[in-house]
C-alpha cells in the first residue's frame, strides 16, 4: 500500500444552529428560501423541523462553517427568533444553552 492510498481530504466543517420561536406552520423549505435569499453564496444548507410541545416551531439548521457569523448578525433573522448553537449530545434535540457566539447577542428581541 502506498502513502497515497491512505490520503484523503478532511470533511468540510459545518456550523449547526437551533432556531426557535418560529411560527408553527413554517416548513423547512420556507426557512431555506429565506436563507438563500439572504446569503446567495451559501453552498451547504440543511434544515430539519424539530418536534416541539409548545405553540411555535423549532429547527435544526446546518450551514457552511465560514458563514456562521452571518447567522448571528443582528439583522439576519426576524425579530423574536431564538438563535443558539445546536447540541448534538442531547437526547431530546434541545438547544445548547451554554453556546456563546462571538456576537454580543444570540437572541433577537
pLDDT tens-digit readout, 21-68: 999 999 999 999 999 999 999 999 999 999 988 899 999 999 999 988
Whether the predicted pLDDT of 109 surpasses 70: no
**Cα–Cα distances in angstroms (integers) from residue 66 to residues 17, 23, 34, 87, in the given order:** 14, 28, 18, 19
Report CA Rg, the chain. 16
Q: Is the pLDDT of residue 94 over 80?
A: no
pLDDT at 87: 78
Burial degree of 12 (CB within 10 A; 0-12, 13-18, 19+) = exposed
Domains of the chain, with CATH numbers? 12-85 (3.30.70)
Q: 60 with 96: CB under 8 angstroms?
A: no
Please write the tens of the pLDDT for every residue from 55-90. 999 999 999 999 888 877 778 899 999 888 887 776
User: Model pTM?
Assistant: 0.69
Dihedrals φ, ψ of 33, to 5°?
Answer: -60, -40
Total Cβ atoms within 10 A of residue 108 = 16
Amino acid at each position: 500500500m502506498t502513502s497515497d492510498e491512505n490520503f484523503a481530504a478532511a470533511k468540510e466543517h459545518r456550523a449547526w444552529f437551533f432556531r426557535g420561536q418560529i411560527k408553527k406552520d413554517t416548513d423547512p423549505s420556507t426557512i431555506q428560501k429565506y436563507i438563500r435569499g439572504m446569503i446567495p453564496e451559501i453552498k451547504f444548507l440543511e434544515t430539519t423541523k424539530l418536534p416541539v410541545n409548545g405553540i411555535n416551531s423549532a429547527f435544526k439548521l446546518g450551514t457552511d462553517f465560514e458563514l456562521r457569523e452571518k447567522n448571528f448578525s443582528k439583522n439576519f433573522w426576524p425579530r423574536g427568533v431564538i438563535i443558539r448553537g445546536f447540541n448534538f449530545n442531547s437526547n431530546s434535540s434541545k438547544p445548547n444553552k451554554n453556546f456563546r457566539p462571538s456576537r454580543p447577542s444570540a437572541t433577537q428581541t
